[in-house]
Structure 1
Amino acid sequence: MTVIQKIAVIGSGTMGGGIAISALSGGLKTVLVDTSDASLEQAQARVHKYFDRQVSKERMSAQDRENALSCLQVSTVLSAASDADLVVEAVFEDLDIKKSVFSQLEQVVSRTCHLATNTSALRVSEIASALEYPDRFCGLHYFSPAEVNPVVEVVRSDMTQGSTVTATLSFLGTCRKIPIECKDQSGFALNRFFCPYTNEAARCIDDGLGTPAQIDDVAKQVLGVPVGPFFVMNIVKPRINLAAIRNLAHLGPFYEPARSMSAIGDADASWEISDAPATLGASARQVITDRLLGAIFFAVKQELAEEVATAGAIDLGACRAFGFAKGPVEMMRDLGADAVNTLISSVTANVSVSH
């Protein structure tokens, strides 16, 4: 097994910069590659700011900060990744761009170098089609912010060899990340239900059940999450969330984007969330509760049937990546099959009517 001592991150944007910080925090030599000098300068400033903050909060010593910063290299050429043991791609979410990056990477890295994509919406196998050696390729899907969120999905395609998974799991352990292993299915383990959850929140807007602030308030109470779906979407950007939802639309009408989701996302706008939501009545809160839970449970039941991930992995990811107080599978067990099926039926019936 290749011991990963140096990684290269391709793309120095929000996700790429966060992945680099995570690797540096694990004491790994890290080269950050981007075609833009300006982007690399911004990423370097972000890295310094992060480690300065760690020192100021007494989470690390000044010497540890210097050691971490000394492990960082930046470059505008892919050949800087030539001696990396692992390369993680974090460029724009476009299939052709990603395939082009990996085609070029194979010309400069060693045969023993493992390759990974941080895609959240594309199939790993589709990107792997550009590779001569797809057996050393997998998905490593970080959640935002990558330097803070502990969860990373490890996505195995039908071609991914076991040694690549073993090496990447060891790497994530070094970086103190929580791996969620899953199959190469649309949405992977976690977005498969999280996207429908945010989409159902938008459908509640379409149906006049409440405002974004009110629906966020219900979600926080029901799921125990620190922030609601609209708040999360504004952080991630509705445009990006919409792209992830559209990636699931081929699974059926339930997964198709809500009207308001498409409108806000396509306009590259944000949801308007008031500071103090007006109180909703008990019946309105219950309807929203049922809709949000029904959407989550429908998607989770499907991915369990497809064996995308184990029940334990789904619940662990929900709690650690998204802040759920209790995982969706555990919630379904607590409610019982009849109650869960009733919630699912009401949501799927609502979709059928709207179509």
Structure 2
Amino acid sequence: MAVTQRIGVVGLGAMGSGIAQVAIEAGFDVVGREVADDLARAATERIGHFLTRKVEKGQRSPEERDAALARLSTTTDLGTLGDCDLVIEAVVEELEPKRALFSELEAICRADAVLATNTSALSVTEIAAATRSPERVVGMHFFNPAPLMPLVEVVRAELSSDEAVETALEVVERLGKVPVSCHDTPGFVVNRVLIPLLNDCVRVLDEARVTPESLDAAMTNGAGWPMGPCTLVDLVGIDVHVHASEALYEKLREPRMAPPPRLVAMRNAGLLGRKTGRGFYSYE
């Protein structure tokens, strides 16, 4: 198995830039691809900002920050990723754009390169089916925010090769993350458990007639959760949670997977949580 050193990250939004940051801090060379120069510059500035914060907190030296940033390059040309050992896709969470991208990546990347999707709820097998070499496609599901969350689910699709899975697991360990290997099933491990559980929590708000503050207090003090469910959904994003719930319900048709009407109404009203300043709670 060849040693992975050069990683491509397609999509430098919150997830993609977080993955890129983790990779350059771990010593990998990273090529980040965005669709426009201004988006690429914004991502580079965001990563630089977070690394500077680490310097200010004494977690990194200025030299380590500068060396990490020197390992990052950005591009708008997908062809620049042709020499990467591993490419991680972190674009919009919709099946067809991902399938189209993987079809393009297959034609661009070396035959021995592993292609990974960061999807949280879509089928890795269906994404891989857009290529003629599905054996080199795996899932690498980072959790948000990637620099802080230790877990990465490494997902074996129906036709993933042992070598591709082993490459992904080895990279996750070199990133300093905790890899959990699983097979391709709706929601993988964490979301399969967490999404219906959070949906149940939201339904309890109405059925038990409690406030978000009371529900969060109940789950943190009674069940030992580190963060209450309403605070957590606000952090994840109401729209993100509803989208993932809908994807799981479409696959499984289990009532608990369907997003509660209250969350759908909040999504439709633009009450998306922390990122819009209002969700279950208000944020400055």
- TM-score normalised by structure 2 residue count: 0.93
Query: How many residues of Structure 1 are paired with residues of Structure 2 in the alignment?
Result: 275
1:22 maps to what in 2? 22
Matches within 5 A, 1:168-317: 168-250=168-250, 251=252, 252-270=254-272, 271-273=279-281
Residue 95 of structure 2 is matched in structure 1 by 95
DSSP-derived class of the 1:186 partner: coil
Note the C-alpha offset of 1:235.
1.4
Question: Match of 1:69?
Answer: 69
SS at match of 1:82: helix
Task: State the shift of 1:98 in Å.
Answer: 0.5
Cα drift, residue 274 of structure 1: 7.3
Q: Unaligned regions of 5+ residues in structure 1, if any?
A: 276-355
Contact 1:206 1:258 (8 Å CA) reproduced: no
SS of match in other structure, 1:107? helix
Q: 2-side partners of 1:211 and 1:138: how far apart? A: 41
**Whole-Å Cα distance in 2 between the matches of residues 22 and 223 of structure 1?**
32
1:221-240 CA deviation, whole Å, 9 max, x = no partner?
Answer: 13323321111111111011
Distance 1:212 1:274 in 2: 12
User: Structure 2 CA distance, aligned partners of 1:129 and 1:98?
Assistant: 11
**How high is the TM-score relative to the length of structure 1?**
0.75
Secondary structure of 2:3 counterpart: coil
Letter of the aligned partner of 1:40 in structure 2?
A: A
How far 1:26 moved relative to its partner?
Answer: 0.6
Where in structure 2 are there 5+ consecutive unaligned residues? 273-278
Matched letter for residue 100 of structure 2: S
Aligned counterparts of 1:254 and 1:235: Cα–Cα separation in 2 = 21
1:247-290 superposed Cα distances (whole Å, 9 cap, x missing partner): 22142223222121221123331333379xxxxxxxxxxxxxxx
Q: Counterpart of 1:304?
A: none
Residues 241, 265 of structure 1: 8 Å contact kept: no
Tell me what 1:9 maps to: 9
Instruction: Confirm or deny: 8 A CA contact 2:231 2:280 kept in the other structure.
Output: no
Alignment of 1:67-146 (within 5 A): 67-146=67-146
Conservation of the 8 A alpha-carbon contact between 1:25 and 1:68:
yes
| 1:205–1:7 CA distance, 2 compared to 1 (3 A) | same
In 1, the alpha carbon distance for the partners of 2:14 and 2:134 equals 27
Instruction: Kindly provide the CA deviation profile for residues 115-140 of structure 1, in whole angstroms up to 9, marking residues without a partner as x.
Output: 00000110101111101100000000
How much is the aligned-residue C-alpha RMSD, in angstroms?
A: 1.4
The letter for the 2-side match of 1:138 is V
- Helix, strand or coil at the partner of 1:27: coil
Contact 2:141–2:152, Cα closer than 8 Å, also in 1 = yes
Three-state SS of the structure 2 residue aligned to 1:248 is: helix
CA distance in 2, matches of 1:157, 1:107: 20
Asked if the contact 1:206–1:259 (Cα under 8 Å) also holds between the matched residues in 2, the reply is: no
Deviations 1:194-227 (A, max 9, x none): 1012101110123243111111111111332332
Aligned letter for 2:266? Answer: I
Superposition misfits of 4+ residues, deviation over 3 angstroms? none
Letter in 2 for 1:100: A
Distance in 2 (CA, whole Å) between partners of 1:268 and 1:84 is: 39
Say which is worse superposed, 249-258 or 192-201, in terms of deviation: 249-258
Greater radius of gyration (CA): 1
Judge conservation of contact 1:205–1:260 (CA < 8 Å) in 2: no
Distance 1:159 1:274 in 2: 46
- Alignment partner of 1:167 is 2:175: no
